[in-house]
Copies of this chain bind each other. A is one copy, B any other.
Amino acid sequence: MTKAIVTVMPKAGVLDPQGKAIGHALGTLGFGGVGEVRTGKIIELELAETDPAKARALAEEMARKLLANTVIESFRVELA
């Protein structure tokens, strides 16, 4: 069993309204000195594949086909 962690973030230049809302809410709560806020998703997958290279390739294929919208989002895969 291999645990793959896929992190999906909006690409640079893509608007992130959720991040903007969080930045605004932090200011309202009294937190100063907060610059840009970006939000993304993290998907932890338990894979039956035990070979690390194959597990990584599988998780990357899953990210390209389902987990990330590669037009506006970039992703990276880590194995844990």
Q: Which residues of A contact B (CB under 8 A)?
A: 1, 7, 9, 19, 22, 25-26, 29, 31-49, 58, 61-62, 65-67
Contact = CB atoms under 8 A, between A and B. Distances in A.
A5 to B, nearest CB: 9
A40 B42 contact: yes
A43 B10 CA distance: 11
A36 to B, nearest CB: 5
Contacts of A25: 66
B33 A66 contact: no
Contacts of A7: 42
A16 to B, nearest CB: 10
A75 B58 CA distance: 27
